[in-house]
């Protein structure tokens, strides 16, 4: 467990650094936009390419992993949405956002930089199928020295850039909303005066999303990938670990775009990220023992 925490804590420390930088105005939205453009257009694509191009074809993405993960995601999404609608009196769109908060892993920010640190460079291959990378892998093409060094430098920059941007996003997206938006933000939420609309009710709704995302989802992926659609052991480990990642920031963007209970969803994103430092370490520890 100490070794696992030794891997996870520095990653989440960079997330915390990005959060603090945005909170104390050391980085602004314009700076975050530039950082996100770099990670989306350069660092992450090169990281994906290297992770696929240097692997043996047998290590690359298994369609069964996508099927297991997709089946689990759909089932838990619908189940959580149904529970949220019935228990808290939410309308259908808002309940569906609760389902999304329970199953959407933070793949864009955390999966690609974190999985190789936990399981080795081979962990990128099941997560990042890239057409050009498959060509290089299948034909066993090797880049010349300077080109490979350039690829390595760009790929190495992906993890800190992504993690810092995640922390800054968590802080910026928790800032005050425009007044016109704030007046409409409870659209579709629990009826006034009901348990779901109270502060305690919101905490319970956030807890529901966190429990499903951080505990139930990895267990279900493991069960389906072990007993229903057996996966290779390595792919199963990567799939379970990805399922145990916290909720992605896209939930905030979608909920604010469609005016659906933004306070609860921003709280779910931040709290699941904090809790996942311990919960993800526990999941990886169990996987290592298995």
Least confident of 46-50, 76-80, 130-134: 130-134
Confidence of residue 180 (pLDDT cuts 50, 70, 90): very low
pLDDT of residue 115: 87
Residue 179 has pLDDT above 50, yes or no: no
18 neighbors 163 (Cβ within 8 angstroms):
yes
pLDDT tens digits for range 114-141 = 888 888 877 776 665 547 444 555 556 6
So where are the chain's domains?
Answer: 2-289
Q: How far apart (Å, rounded) are the C-alpha atoms in residues 259 and 262? A: 7
For the chain, counts of helices (H) and of strands (E)? 15, 0
Fold of the domain built from segment(s) 2-289: Na+/H+ antiporter like fold (1.20.1530)
Q: How far is CA 104 from CA 100, 183, 210, 247, in A?
A: 6, 27, 11, 6
189: phi then psi, degrees, rounded to nearest 5: -80, -175
Residue 104 has pLDDT above 80, yes or no: yes
Confidence of residue 181 (pLDDT cuts 50, 70, 90): very low
The mean pLDDT of 73-84, rounded to a whole number, is 95
pLDDT tens digits for range 272-288 = 999 999 999 999 999 98
pLDDT of residue 23: 87
The mean pLDDT of 85-107, rounded to a whole number, is 89
- Paired strand residues for 105: 247
Considering only CA atoms, which of 148, 153, 159, 150 is closest in space to residue 124? 159
pLDDT of residue 166: 82
Mark out the alpha helices in the chain (DSSP H runs).
Answer: 2-23, 29-38, 44-53, 63-88, 92-103, 112-119, 124-127, 131-139, 145-172, 179-184, 199-211, 217-223, 233-243, 250-257, 262-289
Q: How far apart (Å, rounded) are the C-alpha atoms in residues 230 and 223? A: 9
Residue 70 has pLDDT above 60, yes or no: yes
The mean pLDDT of 202-218, rounded to a whole number, is 94
pLDDT of residue 178: 47
């Amino acid at each position: 467990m100490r070794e696992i925490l030794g891997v996870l804590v520095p990653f989440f420390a960079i997330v915390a650094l990005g959060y603090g930088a945005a909170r104390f105005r050391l980085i602004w939205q314009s700076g975050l936009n530039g950082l996100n453009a770099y990670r989306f257009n350069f660092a992450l694509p090169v990281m994906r390419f290297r992770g696929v191009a240097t692997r043996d074809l047998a290590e690359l993405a298994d369609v069964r992993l996508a099927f297991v993960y997709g089946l689990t995601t759909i089932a838990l999404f619908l189940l959580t949405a149904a529970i949220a609608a019935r228990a808290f009196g939410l309308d259908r769109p808002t309940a569906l956002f609760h389902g999304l908060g329970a199953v959407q892993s933070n793949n864009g920010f955390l999966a690609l930089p974190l999985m190789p640190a936990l399981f080795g460079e081979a962990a990128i291959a099941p997560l990042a199928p890239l057409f050009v990378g498959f060509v290089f892998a299948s034909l066993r093409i090797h880049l010349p020295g300077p080109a490979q060094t350039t690829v390595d430098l760009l790929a190495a920059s992906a993890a800190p850039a992504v993690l810092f941007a995640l922390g800054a996003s968590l802080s910026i997206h928790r800032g005050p909303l425009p007044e016109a938006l704030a007046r409409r933000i409870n659209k579709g939420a629990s009826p006034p005066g009901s348990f779901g609309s109270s502060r305690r009710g919101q905490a319970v709704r956030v807890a529901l999303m966190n429990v499903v995302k951080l505990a139930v989802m990895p267990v279900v992926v493991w069960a389906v990938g072990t007993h229903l659609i057996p996966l290779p052991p390595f792919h199963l480990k990567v799939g379970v670990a990805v399922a145990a990642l916290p909720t992605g920031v896209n939930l905030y963007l979608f909920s604010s775009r469609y005016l659906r209970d933004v306070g609860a969803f921003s709280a779910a994103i931040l709290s699941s990220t904090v809790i996942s430092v311990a919960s993800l370490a526990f999941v990886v520890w169990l996987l290592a023992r298995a």
